[in-house]
Structure 1
Amino acid sequence: MSAGIVQAATPATALAAGLPPGAADCLVAHVLTPPGLRWVGGEPLAARLLHAERDAALALPGIRAVVVRNSFAGVAAVSATQAADAARALRARWSGPPRAGATPAARHTLAQRGDAADALEHARASHTQHYQWPLAGSRDDACCTVVADWRDGTLTVWLPATRPGALRAELAALLGIAPTQVLLVCWQDPNDRADPALLAPHAAADAALLAHASGQPVVRRLRAAEVGLADAALDIRIDSARTGATVDAYAATLSGVTAPVSPLALWLTHTPAPVTDRLDAGHGGDAALPPYDIPHAELAVSGDPAAFKAAPLTTARAQVFARESHLDELAAASDADPVALRLAHLHDPRGAALVRQVAERADWDLDANAAAPRASAAAGNVRRGRGFAYAHSIDHDAGQSWSAWVAEVEVDGTTGELAVTRVTVGHDSESLPPPQAATTARSIERDVAATALQLTAATPGFDTWPGDARVAGETLPAVPARALPEVRLAGTLATHDALAAGPTDSMPAAAAVANAIYDATGVRLRKPPFSAERIRLALAEASPGDKRKKRGWIAAAAAAAAGVCATLLPWRAPIAPVAPPEPGFYSAATLERGRLVAAAGDCAVCHTAPGGAKNAGGLPLETPFGTVYSTNITPDVQSGIGNWSFAAFERAMREGIHRDGRRLYPAFPYTAFAKISDGDMQALYGYLMSAEPVTSAVPQTQLAFPFNVRPLLAGWNLLFHRNERFTPDPSRSAQWNRGAYLAEGLGHCSACHSPRNALGAEQGGRRYLTGGSAEGWEAPALTALSQAPVPWTEAALFTYLRGGYAPHHGAAAGPMAPVVEELAQLPEDDVRAIAHYVASFGAAAPAPSVLAAQAAQVEQRSQQAARTLGGPAERLYQSACAVCHQSDQGIAQFGVKPSLALNTNLHSKLPDNVIQVLLRGMPAPPNSELGAMPGYADTLDDQQIAQLAQYLRARFAPDKPAWQDLENTVARLRAAPAH
């Protein structure tokens, strides 16, 4: 497959090269989704489009085509932003979505052997179980990219190959052209994550309509949610009968939401579906019976068989997952080895040979006692297990293929964190790959690792931790941040350099991982993906004694009342100390998640003294009520939290109560940490308790009366603290909610950037993020009240938070500098989410050209002011600042000369930050071309610092009033402790 549309060259050469036009040459498609869209029996139930203001959308800048046809409405624009603006300008009005009929779906038998119904009816031991397979795949960000180009009477569409005969006729009918005028080119964007048969036809139809209307290449990036398929799932019911470890009967029935038969655009435009072979053979595994010699077997569907055949690969994956999971359940019920049970029913010599090769490569001892545990001994609270799965498919063109997987996992018994540690995979095929389709073993290892990790990814939510996993320099799809599994190859995979690897290779993956989770924990998950949260909840449900106390509104009300009373009690009971966990108690996945949680929460920033050990405490924190010293949070038993139970740790984080029962001062931001999710809280505890213990006695906090009376904090909490976990806003995007969770909870941004009242509590509402102070530094407003000469944008916020420097605003200094260093450890998407959330409190961002003009105007104003200034302050500036900050003086010392005219601090009402930087300097930002700035506390006196600060204000912010009483401010800040 090609790398991506960004790597293609020009429209003129793209067709000859087999690549789509480059991204810069493509218009961007935006198609409206009918409200309430859903699929029943392969057909859509969609609202009718009543009205759309086509001319209003077409009049906007950058719009090249607007297509409104019956209930289809779409635009093609130069940029995605312009396309979205035009879609809103359509002001579409829709009817209510129609209701589905109440007639039950008919059952159709697709394939059978023997008489499964009779065998099940008379069986002594029968088993019935339900499984689900998400149509969009194991991730809800499934997407598909298609490029279409109408040129010289030919429609060329670049897309993942799927149902070519049917799709060619459907696109021709949609545009009113002959099928011979449609050319389909097999191509896939590397960032796509979806079954091609599910989304590609819809994306192709959308792109074709808009390319035909505009006469230019159009790219359509379609997500499952846009066609009502994000949450769609295929249901598989399996009924089986066994005698001992022998399976006598097997019946699988597919039902639920099925894949669409035709592109959505055909339905919306009221285009009659052409008479064609819409259900090309594809992979024959969609209607195949189990590849095992079971005397009575049946495969049936509830609904239109055509709907199930429309996406054969998806249907085949669903069947393999359900069947191989069910066989594992039968093996457990009969106390049989899962691999031995399959081999006993597998009389295909080639398939049986592959199974034995994979088992041998995975060190699976088939001669061992079947009743003995297969999982490795657990270390601490880490549970290990492994699972097997097998698949056999038939393609009418490529012939038969066989694949088998052994997945090995680690599960943290406390948090549910899951890691696939090793995968042994084997593949065999009757077909030989053409030279251009040959796949290297290294590429297969990469794909296997990515598939295994995607299956264990949580559904993206406000407390999901994505990561950027790489293998040999190649980027994999975003997966939870943890180590990639080891991959072992068996069968033809292990003996050939060029392989016929394809989508059927990973068919056993989901079942193998699910079976490994069961082997490790006894928890059976019957729908992928397998997130830590689902495993944790399943483990809690399986734990005796937890069920009753968590049920019933009476218990919930009693717990709420107890929480209120606990808040009011001035003294709280101590929580008994516990022995520290043994090394290896927590899984690697939990520790990695905890490391990221700690970085997002800036734990080390406040709990590490200058020159001290990490998290050993002792940092003085200046407050209006006195100096508070941070505590030792390493797992040292004597001076740290080594003997704290999780209950004690959680109480401190959510309620501000020490293990010994005394109340903690709210300089420790438990008011924000209360919003942390349970999973993140447990991972953070595991990470801190697994660190190296450091013995460090920190100074005791001694505040003046009455602030030293800790019981009074009970009343403070009653007024200003709500012990509530973060609740996402359903009206906001997933990115906004993720940013809100990180900023409001772990990142506790408002602790510094919001003003406080006379009792030291943060002020919310309209004053949220409107500016505050921290450790002698001003924390500027993050809203539209910002004093920045050029408005902050989401892009600028991301650049600043990610690299510590934004060209239109300056570099991170003071308490913000170490925060940026911690943020550098987070995945990029998390930092983007924070920037997106914070930007939502500002004014709408101007266009880049407007921002550039504003910056140029500020620079020009500064240059004019410089001509009127001189004297001793000018000479101080020339000797201390000009060489690094003035573009016309020498060469750039560190790759870039940051502009002082655009520096936010110089435009503030307060001089504190400018004086602090002059006195103490600032470190080099972690990810930029800037260098460190030296401090002048030892070389310039208070008067000189004041003169220089006033000069900088007059020269670079000439429209602002002069700062007053600078020498006293310099003396005060110089005397304050440095951090």
Structure 2
Amino acid sequence: MNEGLVPQATPATAVAGSMPPPAADCLVARVLTPPGLRWIDGKPLAARLLGAQHEAALALPGVRAVVIRNNFAGVAAASGAQAANAIQALQARWSAPPRADDAPVTRHALARRGNADAVLAGADARHTQHYQWPLAGTRGEAYCTAVADWRDGKLTVWLPSTRPGALRAELAALLGIAPQQVVLACWQSPDDRADPALLAPHAAADAALLAHAAGLPVMRRLCAADVGLADAALDVRVDTALAGTAIEAYAATLAGTAAPAVPLALWLTHTASPVADGIDADHAGATTMPPYRIPHVDLVATGNAAAFDAAPPAAARAQVFARESHLDELAAASGTDPVALRLAHLDDARGTALVRQVAERAAWTPAAPRANTAAGNVQRGRGFAYAHTIDHEAGQTWSAWVAEVEVDGTTGELAVTRVTVGHDSESLPRAQAAPSARSLELAVADAALQLTSATPAFDTWPAEAPSASQALPAVPGSALPEVRLAGTLAPHDALAASPTGTMPAAAAVANAIYDATGVRLRAPPFSADRIRLALAEARPGNQRSKRGWIAAAAAAAAGVCATLMPWRAPIAPVAPPEAGFYSAATLERGRLVAAAGDCAVCHTAPGGAKNAGGLPLETPFGTVYSTNITPDVQTGIGNWSFAAFERAMREGIHRDGRRLYPAFPYTAFAKISDGDMQALYGYLMSAEPVKAEVPQTQLSFPFNLRPLLAGWNLLFHRNERFTPDPSRSAQWNRGAYLAEGLGHCSACHSPRNALGGEKGGRQYLTGGSAEGWEAPPLTALSQAPLPWTEAALFTYLRGGYAPHHGAAAGPMAPVVEELAQLPESDVRAIAHYVASFGTPAPSPAVLAAQAAQLEQRSAQAARTLGGPGERLYQSACAVCHQSDQGIAQFGVKPSLALNTNLHSKLPDNVIQVLLQGMPAPPNSELGAMPAYADTLDDQQIAQLTQYLRARFAPDKPAWQDLENTVARLRAMPAH
């Protein structure tokens, strides 16, 4: 995590005097990670490369360079997919990973004053705690990007680092050129969310090596796992001796994984580093001595951390977090105000003035005890932290934070609601000579998002962080805090948005969480799950007994038996929660969960109030009406407890004990995580209640016997939460969670048996039906004339229209509208997951050629067709769909030759679109299509449908019995 926890507010452009990288023309780099790679004392321990199929990889389409050099194996290709194919074609063979030797633990003194060991040994009040600082980044799959270009005997590298230090000489040594031939430009990809100081040198070296071989620009995008640093962390043990409220001694021991000083590519290629000590001198300026008046101080780095010299950014941030968190714990233990404790130990007039000004700006009153405030289930707290660093470029810098948080006591959802920040500096680097207050606000907001975004599990809802070139996004209920600025010598419009400005961020937020909840988190980031579990552990009567596992097993067995019982006991009604019971963060998470689950799509009748129910759902066994899920006490779920709500969602049991029909997809919702389930309940219970009676579902015998559903559940339902696949990527697991659970894609896109159970296994996502529409296969069985690519799936799900396939219509149209509310990364995850069931996609050039062939074939077929179908097409369709007639009516003319529905085995979707029309997709230039149910009769609809099939899918057999199909679909209720 390191600097990646609080990234620099570096614009996604090159520094003055350099051009941005040629991203559009870049090759994509892939580099093999040696198995078992790990770092010992700043040096990699890696397996040896025994062999690789160089020529096989180089012969693949799109591959421009393959570099095999000692233990380095990498490729550069025109696309990421082609590079991945080339990496696989290498068929690399590796030796067994070497074992680490049992070398004695090294110790490295960072700073010392007085005799801390002796004072601590004789102290009456000694406080010891451990803290941890992750190095790799707060978000899983957090990437760092570098671009290299070799031309005219010069290497230009764009990377997200303002202090490259020894990198220029290292890259020159790697390529066997002079350092004067290397130009480094500061640039950061807007998609990067990783630590530039930790990962940028590795990305730069890989890109440089492959660009030198290819003679073309190469982009290398890597995450911490690619260089063996996925679990890298620094541990800080802090010991203090307290005499009353005076700190007599302070000792900190830094241990853990050292940040590598040399790019991995140098080690793998056996290139000697031209820098003797391997330490980036530019990173050695910040001091580690605490900025407080403490007589005895001893700071030591041990083991792997001994590779740190003075205080690179990771060590500095780790120690600031540990020290400022520990001081907050000392203040609580001694009954002292945290700000007053720090002021009592500050002799620095400039730092003291900044602390006082920040406290005043935040309305901090040291004389009054700070008790957390609560509204309903929301707990609020404030935390303070301070940092003082010395850098050879910027001189002395001072930073102080007051963070204010809200924590939901049930879900653990955390929101940083306000930050008061002060930052002062003796001088500013020339590249940052005139930063604005806005840049500091952006850095603060981004820091808050990073701190509250844990390494994503499958149920983590990402927040879109602002970049330095953006305004703060105005997202309702988002975690973006209000930012207040305070400064001493520098005016607000000249505060430096340097990384030192966010040094106190992690400790301030951790201290605020403690103030709000009494829960002390000693490692960032601070996720809702960690807070929720800590709160549960802290509650009275929640101690685990030695026989707890027996009770858990008994409860699980009882749950299985209860699921199979035909009748279930009702759950007593409860009073609805008061307004403001749930935090804004919980409600925002619940809103996203509801959108991903398409709750409003099924629980809103045409023209009815949102979620008030009454929508008729056609099933082979009769019509099922959706229920009212607004918090109305009489007709909705206003008197449902969470236990009743969760039972309905996971088991399909109403609060009154009757079983729900599986038209309500509890078979999928059972996979929802506990955190998402609680947030969804809070969101629904906080909505506006709507009193609305819905029609009673009346199915024919024997389907009207609800107790029989116990047997159905035994056959077709597994009440199990989603379990991620450890062999898959975080993005794939996120997409699987959304698609299999909340999104319940298989409810429509998988076939069902005679009893209405979904067919899984090889028939998963191979096609189904929904409300009179065909839900086409999402696998390799798709009838689409062009294969669905991951990019096309994302475009379709995000905007409702994919040029090579068509637009979302019928039941899919409102689903797309709901997905538009989700973060873009979530929609990409769904597309990534669904694409994994299809065939490998050809290159964009091949797809374009195939599309042109389909268009030409359709044009040839049109010359042989005529009759009433052709006349209906010309009058009703051609103006919007035929590129050679007039201008585009709505910005784009969708091609029918590429339309997936026209190539299907069934005509249902084409007929439904003609009858019902189609709304304009939410995020495209495509316009709405009118309905023809009232202007064309069954025969005309059938004639037009048959013409469309013959013209735009001439290789497919003609559809049969179209008039009867039109009559059947016309008789179905429209939604």
Q: Give the TM-score band, short-chain normalised.
A: over 0.9
Cα contact 2:612–2:690 (8 A) shared by 1: yes
Q: Which moved more, 1:249-258 or 1:867-876?
A: 867-876
Superposed displacement of residue 574, structure 1:
0.8
Write out per-residue CA displacement over residues 248-271 of structure 1, whole angstroms, 9 at most, x where no aligned residue: 111000001111132222222223
Sort the Cα spacing of 1:752 and 1:181 in 2 relative to 1 into closer, same or farther, 3 A: closer
2:444 match? 448
Find the aligned partners of 2:619 and 2:672 in 1 and give their Cα distance: 25
Cα contact 1:135–1:234 (8 A) shared by 2: yes
Q: What letter corresponds to residue 646 of structure 2 in structure 1?
A: E
Sort the Cα spacing of 1:76 and 1:763 in 2 relative to 1 into closer, same or farther, 3 A: closer
Verify: 1:851 aligned to 2:851, yes or no. Answer: no
Cα contact 1:64–1:77 (8 A) shared by 2: yes
Q: Which moved more, 1:412-421 or 1:310-319?
A: 310-319
Q: Which moved more, 1:394-403 or 1:705-714?
A: 394-403
Sort the Cα spacing of 1:537 and 1:959 in 2 relative to 1 into closer, same or farther, 3 A: same
Superposed displacement of residue 358, structure 1:
0.6
2:254 match? 254
Question: What secondary structure is seen at the aligned counterpart in 2 of 1:547?
Answer: coil
1:11 match? none
Verify: 1:935 aligned to 2:931, yes or no. Answer: yes
Question: What secondary structure is seen at the aligned counterpart in 2 of 1:497?
Answer: helix
Find the aligned partners of 1:802 and 1:157 in 2 and give their Cα distance: 34
Which of 854, 860, 865 is matched with 1:869 structurally? Answer: 865
Write out per-residue CA displacement over residues 52-88 of structure 1, whole angstroms, 9 at most, x where no aligned residue: 2223333334433332222122223343333333222
Sort the Cα spacing of 1:481 and 1:225 in 2 relative to 1 into closer, same or farther, 3 A: farther
Sort the Cα spacing of 1:922 and 1:807 in 2 relative to 1 into closer, same or farther, 3 A: same
1:971 match? 967
Q: What letter corresponds to residue 852 of structure 2 in structure 1?
A: A
Question: What secondary structure is seen at the aligned counterpart in 2 of 1:309?
Answer: coil
Write out per-residue CA displacement over residues 308-350 of structure 1, whole angstroms, 9 at most, x where no aligned residue: 2287111100000000000001111111100100111111111
Verify: 1:799 aligned to 2:795, yes or no. Answer: yes
2:5 match? none
Which of 539, 542, 567 is matched with 2:538 structurally? Answer: 542
Find the aligned partners of 1:325 and 1:921 in 2 and give their Cα distance: 61
Cα contact 1:281–1:396 (8 A) shared by 2: no
Find the aligned partners of 1:478 and 1:148 in 2 and give their Cα distance: 36
Q: Which moved more, 1:316-325 or 1:851-860?
A: 851-860
Sort the Cα spacing of 1:495 and 1:103 in 2 relative to 1 into closer, same or farther, 3 A: same
Cα contact 1:755–1:770 (8 A) shared by 2: yes
Superposed displacement of residue 617, structure 1:
0.5
1:136 match? 136
Sort the Cα spacing of 1:910 and 1:56 in 2 relative to 1 into closer, same or farther, 3 A: closer
**Structure 2 counterparts to residues 477-516 of structure 1, below 5 A:** 482-492=478-488, 495-516=491-512
Sort the Cα spacing of 1:55 and 1:908 in 2 relative to 1 into closer, same or farther, 3 A: closer
Superposed displacement of residue 557, structure 1:
1.8
Sort the Cα spacing of 1:284 and 1:336 in 2 relative to 1 into closer, same or farther, 3 A: farther
Superposed displacement of residue 287, structure 1:
4.7
**Structure 2 counterparts to residues 309-328 of structure 1, below 5 A:** 309=309, 312-328=312-328
2:294 match? 294
Higher relative contact order (CA 8 A, sep 6+): 2
Superposed displacement of residue 715, structure 1:
0.7
2:698 match? 702
Question: What secondary structure is seen at the aligned counterpart in 2 of 1:918?
Answer: helix
**Structure 2 counterparts to residues 67-146 of structure 1, below 5 A:** 67-146=67-146
**Structure 2 counterparts to residues 397-408 of structure 1, below 5 A:** 397-408=393-404
Q: CA RMSD in A?
A: 2.4
Verify: 1:831 aligned to 2:824, yes or no. Answer: no
Superposed displacement of residue 695, structure 1:
0.2
Find the aligned partners of 2:237 and 2:475 in 1 and give their Cα distance: 30
Write out per-residue CA displacement over residues 675-726 of structure 1, whole angstroms, 9 at most, x where no aligned residue: 0111111110000000000000111111111111111111110111000001
Q: Which moved more, 1:522-531 or 1:218-227?
A: 218-227
Superposed displacement of residue 171, structure 1:
3.0
Find the aligned partners of 2:566 and 2:546 in 1 and give their Cα distance: 28
1:199 match? 199
Q: Which moved more, 1:760-769 or 1:51-60?
A: 51-60
Verify: 1:887 aligned to 2:879, yes or no. Answer: no
**Structure 2 counterparts to residues 27-426 of structure 1, below 5 A:** 27-161=27-161, 164-274=164-274, 276=276, 278-279=278-279, 281-282=281-282, 287-303=287-303, 307-309=307-309, 312-368=312-368, 372-375=369-372, 377-426=373-422
**Unaligned stretches of 5+ in structure 1?**
9-13
Sort the Cα spacing of 1:946 and 1:141 in 2 relative to 1 into closer, same or farther, 3 A: closer
Write out per-residue CA displacement over residues 439-491 of structure 1, whole angstroms, 9 at most, x where no aligned residue: 11111111111111111012122111123355897177999981421101111
Superposed displacement of residue 944, structure 1:
2.1
Cα contact 1:165–1:277 (8 A) shared by 2: no
Q: What letter corresponds to residue 237 of structure 2 in structure 1?
A: R
Write out per-residue CA displacement over residues 588-623 of structure 1, whole angstroms, 9 at most, x where no aligned residue: 111111111111111011101111100001111111
Question: What secondary structure is seen at the aligned counterpart in 1 of 2:109?
Answer: strand
Superposed displacement of residue 154, structure 1:
4.3
Sort the Cα spacing of 1:975 and 1:191 in 2 relative to 1 into closer, same or farther, 3 A: closer
Question: What secondary structure is seen at the aligned counterpart in 1 of 2:478?
Answer: coil
Q: TM-score, normalised by structure 2?
A: 0.95
Cα contact 2:258–2:306 (8 A) shared by 1: no
Q: What letter corresponds to residue 580 of structure 1 in structure 2?
A: P
Cα contact 1:293–1:346 (8 A) shared by 2: yes
Superposed displacement of residue 178, structure 1:
4.1
Sort the Cα spacing of 1:955 and 1:53 in 2 relative to 1 into closer, same or farther, 3 A: closer
**Structure 2 counterparts to residues 799-818 of structure 1, below 5 A:** 799-818=795-814
Superposed displacement of residue 546, structure 1:
2.8
Which of 766, 770, 787 is matched with 2:766 structurally? Answer: 770
Superposed displacement of residue 499, structure 1:
3.5
1:914 match? 910
Q: How many residues align?
A: 968
Which of 618, 638, 642 is matched with 2:614 structurally? Answer: 618
Which of 656, 660, 672 is matched with 2:652 structurally? Answer: 656
2:666 match? 670
Superposed displacement of residue 163, structure 1:
6.2
Cα contact 1:285–1:392 (8 A) shared by 2: no
Sort the Cα spacing of 1:105 and 1:711 in 2 relative to 1 into closer, same or farther, 3 A: same
Find the aligned partners of 1:802 and 1:508 in 2 and give their Cα distance: 38
Which of 565, 570, 575 is matched with 1:574 structurally? Answer: 570
Cα contact 2:252–2:299 (8 A) shared by 1: yes
Cα contact 2:724–2:733 (8 A) shared by 1: yes
Which of 832, 842, 859 is matched with 2:838 structurally? Answer: 842
Cα contact 2:11–2:467 (8 A) shared by 1: no
Q: What letter corresponds to residue 826 of structure 2 in structure 1?
A: D
Which of 503, 519, 522 is matched with 1:523 structurally? Answer: 519
Superposed displacement of residue 857, structure 1:
2.5
Cα contact 1:2–1:187 (8 A) shared by 2: no
Sort the Cα spacing of 1:875 and 1:67 in 2 relative to 1 into closer, same or farther, 3 A: closer
Q: What letter corresponds to residue 829 of structure 2 in structure 1?
A: A
Sort the Cα spacing of 1:856 and 1:254 in 2 relative to 1 into closer, same or farther, 3 A: same
Cα contact 1:423–1:485 (8 A) shared by 2: yes
Find the aligned partners of 1:244 and 1:311 in 2 and give their Cα distance: 31
Find the aligned partners of 2:387 and 2:515 in 1 and give their Cα distance: 20
Cα contact 2:308–2:315 (8 A) shared by 1: yes
Q: What letter corresponds to residue 44 of structure 2 in structure 1?
A: P
Q: Which moved more, 1:184-193 or 1:622-631?
A: 184-193
Superposed displacement of residue 363, structure 1:
0.5
Q: What letter corresponds to residue 918 of structure 1 in structure 2?
A: L
Find the aligned partners of 2:27 and 2:957 in 1 and give their Cα distance: 49
Question: What secondary structure is seen at the aligned counterpart in 1 of 2:147?
Answer: strand
